Amino acid sequence: MTPAVIPGGLDARESASSSAKRECRSPLAHLLHGLNQPLTGLQCAMEVALARPRTPEQYVEGLRQGLELTERMRALVGAIREVVDEEERDVKDKDEATELNPLLREAVDELQPVAAAKKLQITLDCPAAWSWKVKDGRRRASSLMFRLLESAVSLAAPETALEIETGDAPPGAWMKICWQVAEPRAEFSPPELGLLVAQAGWERAGAEWERRSEDDVETVTLRRREVAGGGCFKSGDLK
């Protein structure tokens, strides 16, 4: 899939700015930043409700808006807890290395029915010799791979293609996922939150994560991070 070129003008600048800010923040920082907006909105709604007498209909509408903001906060807090829980678990767990190649293929197979329901084609270009091992147990590594691809499938527009490509070109193994986004795009929708949680997991495992947005095309690229000096890998690192 060849990414479309963003036309010039304000929209292009805003898209580039949003992508740059997302790249600069860690997933946890991004989630905490996102939590600030609904918190502020809820506080403002409560202040307005107490400022002067209101009709029953206005109170009902205020409560409805408050519930929507609370639901957004619950989703963000849930994602934050996932990230923090996994970070704490990394300190305790010591697992044997797990090969990602079969886990990638299994995740694609599991998601085929979901993709078929939205007429989304998943293409996989993964050589049999592609090798990338992560020092996580098979269950955790499988969950990490599935979470990433599940989020991408959910974010992809119906009747398009989700392309997955892997390789071993220097400096090391890499994986790229590309899809055309559906409209409208909510920054903290469930699949976006899932992608942030997946990003935290991959980065915690030692991978370099890059996400790019160009017009209506999203690309996530993962690269195996090399360790300088040939040092040993800790639990959760890639090798």
Give domain status of residue 94, yes or no.
Answer: yes
Instruction: Dump pLDDT digits (tens) for 171-183.
Output: 789 999 999 998 7
The pLDDT > 90 percentage for the chain reads 38
Confidence of residue 137 (pLDDT cuts 50, 70, 90): confident
- Determine the length of the chain: 239
Is residue 239 one of the residues assigned to a domain?
no
Which CATH number does the domain housing residue 18 bear?
A: 3.30.565.10
Q: Is residue 222 part of a domain?
A: yes
- Reported confidence tier of residue 163, pLDDT bands at 50, 70, 90: very high
CB-based contacts of 15-18 (< 8 A; 24+ apart in sequence): 15/213, 15/214, 15/215, 18/213
- Give the total number of structural domains in the chain: 1
How many whole angstroms separate alpha carbon 67 and alpha carbon 80?
20
Window from 9-18, 80-89, 90-99, 224-233 with minimum mean pLDDT: 9-18
> How confident is the prediction for the chain on average, in pLDDT?
81
What is the Cα–Cα distance from 187 to 33, expressed in whole angstroms?
A: 12
> Residue 239: is its pLDDT beyond 50?
no
Residue 15 lies in domain: 10-230
Q: Which helix (H) or strand (E) holds 99?
A: strand 98-99
What is residue 186's three-state secondary structure?
coil
Residue 200 lies in a domain: yes
pLDDT at 97 over 80: yes
CA distances from 130 to 101, 133, 166, 175 (A): 7, 10, 7, 10
Is 112 contained in some domain?
A: yes
pLDDT band at 16 (very low <50, low <70, confident <90, very high): very low
Q: Is residue 1 part of a domain?
A: no
What pLDDT, on the 0 to 100 scale, is given for residue 95? 61
Assigned domain for 211 exists: yes
Residue 237 inside a domain? The answer is no
